[in-house]
Structure 1
Amino acid sequence: MRITFTSPSQKSRQLILDCPATATSDLLTERNSVLHLATGDVTIQSTWFSGACIIVSYWDIKKPSPISINCDCFCWILNFVIDGELAIQLSKKELALKAGRYHTFYSTLLNVDISSKCKSQMLSICLKKSFIEKLLGNNQLPAPFESNGDKHFTLITKGTYQNSSLSLLVNGLLNADQPVYIKRIFLEAKILELLSTQLLYLESRVDQTEIFSADDRARLQEAKMLIAQDLRSPCSLTELSRKTGLNDFKLKKGFKILFGNTVFGYLAELRMDAAYKLLQEGERVGIVAETVGYKNAHHFTAAFKKRFNVLPSQVLRLLLIMVNVACYV
């Protein structure tokens, strides 16, 4: 397995992670690497053992710019954003991942672009096909995994891992400090737990979607559009039920199953994203808070700080700093 990090704008700046010879056995190998760019650094801690690579990456980039990541073989990837926000372009799909969210996919020809919008940290677990086949016992991936893929890329699942069993497993991987001969066993056990938890969730979600008809799913899509239409005065659950013709159970349960978020969780994401854009355009904090539906500016500030780890009043200043740095570079 060879994983390559390259800056499209500075192709001479490249970092290559080769699977060490010791990792072909069950021995554990740990490395620290840094990709130096004109706009900042990407620091990478990698841990290798047979069929697996665990990467903790720290993105300290002053100006958002993509980093291309390639792998020369089939890989099954689990990404967990620990802090900050990353935009990931996979094949024809784009995923915006914020702290506390994750996605899992596999690729026969990995070629992705990742850009960091602020200081960020991500845990990535890369598994070779031999690792997955050993677990599943054959060469055939289960049917649910083949349902939404194209030639090179299949998204398996995505969602929020905070305040769930996944969070404990992620913390265990990040804070493993056992002696080397124990650590490999510990890390592999945590990876197996992560995989089994995600696969069980996927199977459960596939089963649950069967209780919703095509008409139900169309109505849930309508509910999603209605939420986005008015962030200042959004529909209540009762109004959404009435407008879409869905009962309370199908609206709340179906929305969570199909979209991986609650109705109000989705509304909160839309509000914060809209607020960030308005603040970058120079709009005042009080006006932005009111525009996206907050009657209390203090409540808005607290929610914004929790989401982006920066105060609303600092957004424009940070943008101007990045622009000045880019001009200087």
Structure 2
Amino acid sequence: MMAEDFHQIYNAFFDGFQLSRRYADRTEQLPVPRQAGEGALRRFVPRPDLEIVISDYTLSRNRQFQVRTDSAMVELSFCLQGKRELHISGMKHEFRANRCTLQLVDRFQAHFDFVGNQPMLAVGIGIPVATFDRFMEDFEGKRPVDFAKLVDRSPFRLFEQAIDPATSVILQQILDASYSNDTRKIYMESKALELLSLSFHTLLWDREPDDKHIRSKLSKSDLEKIRQAQEVLLHRMDSPPSLLELSRTVGLNDFKLKIGFKEVYGHTVFGYLREKRLEKALLLLQKGQVNVNQAACVVGYSNPSHFAEVFREKYGFNPGELVRK
């Protein structure tokens, strides 16, 4: 299968999946054939250079197919449930639940493996290279990174991270809107752009500091350990380690961790933890899963009054207002 432009890459994927589509570049629902499973892929095209694909299905058996493309694109994918594998250039890439991946594709042939009898829920956002490069520019037209630099003549480049609470909130908003007949293009477009902006910051712009002097002091190993420290904080949000314990866990001295973490993520270690705690609390309260005291406890605040105070400072309203809605 050949894909000659941005939308045709998606069309090649849908055709490989044996989905019956009516359009080449328009919003539509693509049901999974009954003999293959249940569910559907929903394609939203709010503007010509943006595709949003929501995959919500269960296959009755394992599925494999290949896609070949002579074009290029960028896709941001969020796997919320299930998993799938992509084989390209002799490498295997696994897309797992609660992970976000940024994929830069440039003329490649890929082999997709899908697992049967396992629910799959994912959100994909695709844009052409020209749009990606424009998004990389500052107001002076300068680009610290662009597509060509990132792929460096390779057919495929992938960046990956855990889905954080703030991103989870936006993804849920997209999923809710996708089922509503009243949803406008501008809403889906704005939420997709919000996700692109957040992910570009954490995966690209914040990943490599602009200060060359600082960058020279942080090796690739140091950067990887700093990212490990970030994941430890997210997983142990309710009972976080001390800075010294965290440094020992990831194998990086506490001074370099403290300086490097601020450079990579723009916050001190515990300033970052505070932000992520409040984002997760907001998500829990928006979903109506917990009351204020329970939300405080889940994210590691032993004093509900203090939790309510810092929550109000960040969001401008009391957490109890979400419970009463």
Q: Give TM class, smaller chain.
A: 0.5 to 0.7
TM-score normalized by structure 1? 0.55
User: Could you tell me how far apart the structure 1 residues matched to 2:250 and 2:176 are?
Assistant: 48
Cα distance change on mapping 1:16 and 1:218 into 2, 3 Å: same
- Counterpart of 2:293 in structure 1 is none
The answer to whether the 8 A contact 1:76-1:128 is kept is yes
2:104–2:151 Cα contact (<8 Å) kept:
no
Where does residue 151 of structure 1 map in the other structure?
154
Instruction: Give the 5 Å matches for 1:182-197.
Output: 183-197=184-198
Instruction: Report the 3-state secondary structure (helix = DSSP H, G, I; strand = E; otherwise coil) of the residue aligned with 1:14.
Output: coil
**1:68 correspondence with 2:66:** yes
SS at match of 2:63: coil
Alpha-carbon RMSD across the aligned residues, in angstroms, is 4.4
**Residue number among 53, 65, 71 corresponding to 1:55 in the alignment:** 53
Structure 1: segments with no counterpart, 5+ residues: 24-28, 225-236, 259-329
The residue aligned with 1:308 is none
Give the drift of 1:217: 3.7
Query: Structure 1 residue 32 and structure 2 residue 40: aligned?
Result: no
Matches within 5 A, 1:76-95: 76-95=74-93
The corresponding residue for 1:119 is: 119
How many residues align? The count is 232
Checking the alignment, whether the CA contact within 8 Å between 1:4 and 1:14 is kept in structure 2 is no
Identify the residue that residue 14 of structure 1 maps to in structure 2: 18
Q: Which residue of 2 aligns with 1:167?
A: 168
Maintained 8 Å contact 1:81/1:102? yes
2:131: which partner in 1?
131
Decide whether aligned partners of structure 1 residues 171 and 242 sit closer, same or farther in structure 2, where only a CA change above 3 A counts. closer
Quickly say closer, same or farther: Cα 1:240–1:142, change in 2 above 3 A: closer
- Distance in 2 (CA, whole Å) between partners of 1:37 and 1:150 is 41
- The residue aligned with 2:106 is 108
Aligned partner of 2:297 in structure 1 is none
Task: Assess, with a 3 A threshold, how the Cα gap between structure 1 residues 40 and 204 changes in structure 2: closer, same or farther.
Answer: same
Q: Please, which runs of 5 or more residues in structure 2 have no aligned partner?
A: 1-6, 230-243, 266-325
- In 1, Cα distance between the equivalents of 2:181 and 2:255? 50
Q: Deviations over 1:148-178 (max 9, x none)?
A: 54432222x3111142x22122122222166
Letter in 2 for 1:5: F
CA deviation digits over 1:205-243, x for unaligned, max 9? 21198275449649959x99xxxxxxxxxxxx8698499
- What does the per-residue CA deviation read over 1:161-203, in whole Å, with 9 as the maximum and x for residues that have no partner? 142x2212212222216666x6211111112211221222221
Identical-residue share of aligned pairs (%): 18
Alignment partner, residue 13 of structure 2:
5
AA paired with 1:247?
A: N
Deviation at 1:99, TM superposition (A): 1.7
SS in 2 for 1:205: coil
For 2:124 and 2:83, how far apart are their aligned partners in 1? 14
Is the 1:144–1:206 contact (alpha carbons within 8 Å) kept by the matching residues of 2? no
SS of 2:103 mapped into structure 1? strand
Cα distance in 1, alignment partners of residues 218 and 52 from structure 2: 40
Give TM-score, length-normalised by structure 2. 0.55
Q: Structure 1: how far apart are the matches of 2:222 and 2:35?
A: 47
Tell me the SS of whatever aligns to 1:199.
helix
Q: Distance in 1 between matches of 2:142 and 2:21?
A: 28
Counterpart Cα distance in 2 of 1:88 and 1:196: 25
Contact residue 84 and residue 96 of structure 2 kept, 8 A: yes
Residue 40 of structure 2 is aligned to residue 43 of structure 1? yes
User: In the TM superposition, what is the alpha-carbon distance from 1:255 to its structure 2 partner?
Assistant: 9.7
Q: 1:108 is matched by which residue type in structure 2?
A: D
- CA distance 1:17–1:106, shift in 2 (3 Å): farther
Q: Deviations over 1:236-272 (max 9, x none)?
A: x86984996x4245469979979xxxxxxxxxxxxxx
Contact 1:6-1:68 at 8 Å conserved across structures: no
Report the secondary structure of 1:109's partner residue.
strand
